[in-house]
Structure 1
Amino acid sequence: MIENEQLKERYYQALLERDAQFDGIFFAAIKSTGIFCHATCRARKPKFENCDFYERAEEALLAGYRPCKICQPLSYPHQLPEEVRMLITTVEANPEKRWREEDFKRLGLHSATARRQFKEVYDMTFVQYARARRMGLAFKNIKDGQTVIDQQLAMGYQSSSGFNDAFSRIMGNPVKKTTIKVLTAAFIATPIGRMLALADEEYLYLLEFENRRGLEREIERLRSRLNARIIHGTNTLLQQLEKELAAYFSGTFAGFTVPLYLSGSAFQQAVWKLLQKIPLGETATYKDLALKLGDSNKVRAVGNANGANQIAILIPCHRVIASDGSLGGYGGGKERKKYLLELEKKIKKT
């Protein structure tokens, strides 16, 4: 989301004037209606305080907004092929749905063709779109449910029937157990995208970029393992995390002190401990880590453990590169990985 006040005012003026020069430059999300539009939308103009502005459509989707039916912001500057229009309509009819191959067949669509057309029009894959829409609803539900949940918790409810879990319809119900753990969800803005953090007063359980692939599955596994309920808000630990991340990205980093909850196999935890020992501003290869674990044949296993890390940045899996010196993979995307490594080199020099 765009935070610069001058830029927001400029974009709002473009929205009022329906300035075509700004179509595709920004997306205006309207809090009162839950939709997002491009600059030339014919709909009634909202008040400035009711607008959020995004540079990318995926950000608006992840924030819980849906595309405006009047201006169809995601089709700019293209016309929507009928197959793509059908997919969008079907997603909106049931945005919580997870798509499978047979769902395309039921619509009479060839999945490969539909996916290719979708990518050409929207500059994002259909899976990205459907997932962003689904996750956006989940994130929005958490926020919308904050007041009710806080009241119920304040009244002392401790059972699963005592308060509403906003993720339940999107990500499924956790396993029934006697003890229920309450985790607080917070969104933290960074220069390279918003992050989702889950924590209680003792530990940080998850920190990921909100558009990371597989985030739903990570949350599902965490909820099931801990029998956790998720509410939106903040706590002392999350406030500490936000301050430390702000220092990190501003270059005044003095080290992370937030306690982490690590849940994984013995091998995964061994890899994560090694990751935390890689000095800031330096890198290691997957082979380096495998050798330190005593088996050079476990390069792939190290890579898998690296990918299973649920606490980005604090457990610095971005510091692991390929043996040929290339960046290698990263759950948050290679551009973010490059940014983090360059940032840490600068911090090291100061």
Structure 2
Amino acid sequence: MITAELKKEYYRALLDKDTEYEGVFYVGVKTTGVFCRPTCPARKPKFDHCEFFESAQEALLASYRPCKRCCPLSHPNQVSELVQRLVKAVEENPEKRWTEKDFQELSVDASTARRQFKKRFGMTFVEYARARRMGLAMKQIREGGAVIDAQLSTGYESSSGFRDAFSRIMGAAPTLLGQSNILKASWLDTRLGPMIAIADEEALHLLEFLDRRGLEREVERLRQKTTSAIIPGETEPIRSIERELSQYFDGELKEFKTPVTFLGSPFQKSVWEVLRNISYGETRSYSDIARALGKPSAFRAVAQANGANQLAIIVPCHRVINSNGELGGYGGGLTRKKWLIDHEKQGVCIT
């Protein structure tokens, strides 16, 4: 988490173009919509116009695009020609979903692209492209419905790109919703990174980290299962979970009260109910969950249901680990899983 003091330190480094901070942080400039390296030669923004990030992925998910002057993801002195070429290709069409054929057309080996991006930025090329696309489509969520029509009419990166990106992820452009069932979506800033919350007026349907792999497919399944359009906005369940998440991360809340809706098979729902009964600060194995369901051999099915959970943290799939004590998997990433487990254990010790 970037504290107020750290923000001041980063801003001083930005003004001084301090090379020691290269790779330590990136700065998003709210007035231009770009993010830069600490040593960017461009005119320095005011402090209030800056948003600081510890990774390029965070900046992309916050809807910022790479600065063309300092090239934060493709500076010629720091990355290969391949990375420069792929970053340029994404910026020419940020809404694009990359396939094997696209790599072939550029005469690029997909595994090489994955390896070079992972080594340089801590994320694969596909993760980078997805983060750029998600940031593009989530910009309207963060800024609210009043801005959407202006963005759609003026275009974002291209005349139709933003509308297309919105439609692919949310199901319909806001101006085309008509009389559809409506779910509201909001951007939530948390200590572990941005999350998206989707709810109706009664209950929360989805809570996920924005960089979760497969999030777009999750949103699409939700839209189809509920036959709804999803638009930016807030409902009482969203306001409730935002308050509770803040309390949870501050160590002041151990049990979530926000009403939720489960959309899954009977077996998945039974697994999720067992997960909610794992006490704060404790962990269980997949085999433990299977035995609790009376199906001791179904631990693989339990793991699959665990991965299908769409209510991160509320339904605490992070509390499920392997029988040998290893962390196992987690849709939000193992670093977050370890942090959540340690955070809860610390909270138990304090009390």
TM-score (norm 1): 0.88
Q: Is 1:42 equivalent to 2:22 in the alignment?
A: no
Specify the code of the residue in structure 2 equivalent to 1:192. L
Query: Take 1:260 and 1:165, find their aligned partners in 2: how far apart are those partners?
Result: 30
Deviations 1:191-233 (A, max 9, x none): 2222211112200011111111111111111112223222333
Alignment of 1:70-219 (within 5 A): 70-75=69-74, 78-144=77-143, 146-147=145-146, 168-171=166-169, 173=171, 180-219=180-219
Query: Take 1:77 and 1:246, find their aligned partners in 2: how far apart are those partners?
Result: 41
Bigger shift: 77-86 or 118-127? Answer: 77-86
Query: Take 1:216 and 1:28, find their aligned partners in 2: how far apart are those partners?
Result: 26
Q: CA deviation at 1:39?
A: 1.3
Query: Take 1:111 and 1:254, find their aligned partners in 2: how far apart are those partners?
Result: 43
Query: Take 2:148 and 2:84, find their aligned partners in 1: how far apart are those partners?
Result: 37
Query: Take 1:346 and 1:12, find their aligned partners in 2: how far apart are those partners?
Result: 32
* 1:96 and 1:170 in contact (8 A); partners too: no
Specify the alignment match of 2:265 in structure 1: 265
Specify the alignment match of 2:157 in structure 1: none
Q: CA deviation at 1:190?
A: 2.4
Q: 1:278 to 1:170 in 2, by over 3 A?
A: same
SS at match of 1:337: helix
Deviations 1:76-131 (A, max 9, x none): 69533222222111111111111111110011112222322232333321011001
Q: 1:177 to 1:67 in 2, by over 3 A?
A: closer
Q: Percent identity?
A: 51
Query: Take 1:119 and 1:179, find their aligned partners in 2: how far apart are those partners?
Result: 44
TM-score (norm 2): 0.88
Specify the code of the residue in structure 2 equivalent to 1:30. V
Specify the alignment match of 1:346 in structure 2: 346
Q: Give me the CA root mean square deviation.
A: 2.5
Specify the alignment match of 1:289 in structure 2: 289
Q: 1:215 to 1:9 in 2, by over 3 A?
A: same
Q: CA deviation at 1:323?
A: 1.1
Specify the code of the residue in structure 2 equivalent to 1:228. S
* 1:15 and 1:39 in contact (8 A); partners too: yes
* 2:278 and 2:284 in contact (8 A); partners too: yes
* 2:142 and 2:187 in contact (8 A); partners too: no
Query: Take 2:39 and 2:147, find their aligned partners in 1: how far apart are those partners?
Result: 38
Tell me how many residue pairs correspond in the alignment: 336
Specify the code of the residue in structure 2 equivalent to 1:56. S
Specify the alignment match of 2:237 in structure 1: 237
Q: 1:177 to 1:92 in 2, by over 3 A?
A: closer
Bigger shift: 288-297 or 252-261? Answer: 288-297
Query: Take 2:138 and 2:163, find their aligned partners in 1: how far apart are those partners?
Result: 11
Specify the alignment match of 2:276 in structure 1: 276
Deviations 1:273-292 (A, max 9, x none): 11111122222111111122
Query: Take 2:27 and 2:332, find their aligned partners in 1: how far apart are those partners?
Result: 25
Specify the code of the residue in structure 2 equivalent to 1:328. G
Query: Take 1:171 and 1:239, find their aligned partners in 2: how far apart are those partners?
Result: 22
Specify the code of the residue in structure 2 equivalent to 1:71. C
Query: Take 1:148 and 1:141, find their aligned partners in 2: how far apart are those partners?
Result: 7
Query: Take 1:92 and 1:186, find their aligned partners in 2: how far apart are those partners?
Result: 26
Q: 1:280 to 1:120 in 2, by over 3 A?
A: closer
Query: Take 1:299 and 1:98, find their aligned partners in 2: how far apart are those partners?
Result: 34
Query: Take 2:17 and 2:255, find their aligned partners in 1: how far apart are those partners?
Result: 47
